[in-house]
Chain A
């Protein structure tokens, strides 16, 4: 359940839109930041807060890449493999990250620290290849940089 202070924050989000339904995406981010993912319980709560049916919320959550219906690792590691990165060695970057973390794309490490994903273009084509960790970009990535990048995170 959300507390009064959080409720105030949600009211402030709602004020940006003439229809409170439009607050759905920012409110989903709010719940995801709090719980790490969007659970069925959260959907029920949001449904009451914004007067949107649960099935409509589910339809939005499932559409977007960045809303998670299941828990992921503490660090979500995303390697872009679209063409600008592909032309700058992203395939080997991805292999090196898989080796470093000991998991394949789509998997989470046993300690729930890292989830690894292959993603579409992150808009970092001029500084390719790029790795995003919890939406922070690490650009001009090289295989050599990978060890220190992950060692510093732990």
Chain B
């Protein structure tokens, strides 16, 4: 299988090697196309966002107003703060120029003069790696004024986050760039109308943008035939937890989950059975070990087991692990990262954590599970941003899928 994002080429992070394999030809081609032709090509590809929500990228781009006096902005989201997600850093490290090239094409298609690549503050080493690549591209005049001798000028800057999960949420990210306390904004208005400094703005994930040069070079139709029909392309599956060979594996969408775990990630440590899988970052509803047979990893297939692809960060949890310990740790994260703006999330996450810690200590009571589900239901859908849902889902769906086991644990300690 051809790798589109992370090909096995040594030294690809340097501009000369990248150009040697045809790098920066897609932007040259794009500059000869009209912005609408580019957006149509991306629409044809059926590329869907890789940040978790799977929104069609071409459609998102078409929301940007074309006749406006206001400056337009592009934010490339590399906050990568959802636990168990570690794919974007591979792009910063191993293929930064393809990300830059994708950013340039998106900027041209959207009429953007300034793009900000937002990277989590902890990724200092990876910020330096990407900055080095950006500097190289500026030196060659691939970024800046009249790039590739065209009429198009555009800048790319890195904005460094400072350790807040919420900044991966697009409206929080924009407030973070603006220098405000990064509370998420109400929607509508949506960023395409009212984004950075009240101007039209598009926010795309790092991996999404890195796909763009491939789509321009090989065509949207070619791309649309890779992997799962309704969710085409490849994904950077990040496998972690109780496996022999954790890591990021680039494979087509729709790859069997069992193949990812057993063929690529080396199977479960100590040949133990799988109890639980988190398929796409910790906020995604978990899957039981007995549900993984023949399960494909793409947006549509995961709906059949009541979950979603998220960031494709897969956590494998073996039969010996205490489910309550996992759920308590996940809930502690969302409690810690709740920004405090909305009462249901701020108070609800702490309340759920207290109950789960009580159960973990062996002091749970039989009514606790219904109470947890009730709190989760009262958070879900009742907050400005999706962090509320992200906190509610693991609790609600872990209880749904593992209720018997958790009840037995509570009764044993009674």
Contact = CB atoms under 8 A, between A and B. Distances in A.
Given A135-B124, A137-B125, A86 B81 contact: no
Contacts of B82: 121
B94 interface: no
B122 A84 contact: no
Contacts of B282: 82-83
Contacts of B176: 25
A38 B159 CA distance: 19
Contact of A126 (B121, B180, B238, B336): B238
A122 B246 CA distance: 16
A82 B333 contact: yes
B315 A81 contact: no
A126 B164 contact: no
Given A21-B178, A60-B179, A126-B238, A87 B86 contact: no
B71 interface: yes
Contact of B315 (A25, A64, A84, A137): A84
B240 A126 contact: yes
A66 B163 contact: yes
A25 B83 contact: no
Given A87-B241, A87-B321, A125 B329 contact: no
B204 interface: no
A148 B181 CA distance: 40
Q: Which of A66, A87, A137 has the most CB of B within 10 A?
A: A87
Interface of A: 16-19, 21-26, 28-29, 50, 52, 56, 59-60, 63-67, 81-84, 86-88, 120-128, 132, 135-137
Given A56-B180, A120-B336, A121-B83, 5 more contacts: A82-B333, A83-B282, A83-B315, A83-B326, A123-B85
Interface of B: 71, 80-86, 89, 114, 120-125, 155, 157, 159-165, 176-182, 197, 238-242, 246-248, 278, 282, 313, 315, 317, 321, 325-326, 329-330, 333, 336-337, 339
19 contacts: A16-B157, A18-B71, A19-B178, A21-B180, A23-B179, A25-B159, A52-B179, A60-B179, A64-B164, A65-B164, A66-B162, A66-B163, A83-B326, A87-B317, A120-B336, A121-B84, A125-B85, A126-B86, A137-B125
